[in-house]
Homo-oligomer: A and B are copies of this chain.
Amino acid sequence: MARRRSDDKRSRILHAAVKVFARRGYFASRVSDVARRAGVADGTIYLYFRNKEDILVSLFDEVMSEHLEGRRRQVEPEAPAPARLRAIAERHLGLLGSNRDLAVVFQVELRQSTKFMERFTASWLQDYLALIGEVIEQGQREGSLRADLPVKVATKAFFGVLDEMVTSWILSRKPYDLAALAGPVVDLFLRGAAGSHPAREARPLLRAVAAGRKR
């Protein structure tokens, strides 16, 4: 509050960091690169962040919570689970698909080490997975999702699919609309890949799977 002007500078540094980290990678980026891009002196960085790592962590904490967590309500808590899953997918792919640099930082740079990964998991991912899990359980209650679904696996699977779409999009040379994948992805998640005429040999497998799942 009292440091409104400073917040502007802090913000400039964070935005500069996203660009710099996305292009050169976190370790290869020098603090002075971020400072130059932000238009501040090297030393100024340390008035807003404890150290280089703190820039990355803050990036994640602030941008993430601001952009994603704040929208939890917007996923229409009243809607049925399939619609809510679709909304989550659209939001996820839409946000990252609209800012490639940010996506690179989140998909690649923030996963530098188990240390970051753990922090990532502990603070934000846990909440995000909890949201997805709640929606899935809601779906089971309302009958829109299979009751025999292992919730944890389904939750991670849903996130894993979205995550891979983003990573693949980042690494692709050809630009395409990431958000447009929300529909097909949710459709696949809900309906599955199996066709109506499964090969004969597939049967026993599926039965085995169903049996094994029952643990």
Nearest chain B CB to A80 CB, angstrom units = 3
Asked if A95 is at the interface of the complex by the 8 Å CB criterion, the answer is no
Asked if A165 is at the interface of the complex by the 8 Å CB criterion, the answer is yes
Nearest chain B CB to A122 CB, angstrom units = 9
- Decide yes or no: A209 and B193 within 8 Å by CB, A80-B202, A159-B164, A163-B164 being known contacts: no
* Cβ A201 vs Cβ B83 within 8 A: yes
| Cα–Cα distance between A194 and B189 once the two chains are bound (Å) | 8
Q: Which of chain B's residues have a CB closer than 8 A to the CB of A160?
A: 160-165
* Cβ B212 vs Cβ A183 within 8 A: yes
A187 closest partner in B (C-beta): B209
* Cβ B82 vs Cβ A194 within 8 A: yes
State which of A2-10, A32-40, A147-155 sits at the interface with chain B.
A147-155
- Decide yes or no: A190 and B189 within 8 Å by CB, A79-B201, A113-B27, A202-B82 being known contacts: no
Asked if A81 is at the interface of the complex by the 8 Å CB criterion, the answer is yes
Q: Which of chain B's residues have a CB closer than 8 A to the CB of A81?
A: 199, 202
Chain A, 134-163, CB within 8 A of any chain B CB: 136, 139-140, 142-147, 149-150, 153-154, 156-163
* Cβ B112 vs Cβ A25 within 8 A: yes
Q: Which of chain B's residues have a CB closer than 8 A to the CB of A50?
A: none
* Cβ B108 vs Cβ A114 within 8 A: yes
- Decide yes or no: A114 and B201 within 8 Å by CB, A136-B193, A193-B190, A215-B195 being known contacts: no
* Number of interface residues, chain A, beta carbon within 8 A: 80
Asked if A16 is at the interface of the complex by the 8 Å CB criterion, the answer is no
- Decide yes or no: A171 and B121 within 8 Å by CB, A80-B199, A82-B199, A192-B191 being known contacts: yes
Asked if A73 is at the interface of the complex by the 8 Å CB criterion, the answer is no
Q: Which of chain B's residues have a CB closer than 8 A to the CB of A111?
A: 108, 111
Q: Provide 29 A-B residue pairs closer than 8 Å at the C-beta atoms, listed in order of the A residue.
A: A26-B113, A27-B112, A27-B113, A80-B202, A81-B199, A82-B198, A82-B206, A86-B209, A104-B114, A112-B112, A143-B195, A144-B197, A144-B198, A144-B199, A144-B202, A146-B191, A156-B165, A159-B164, A160-B160, A160-B162, A164-B164, A180-B212, A183-B209, A183-B212, A187-B208, A189-B192, A192-B213, A195-B215, A198-B215
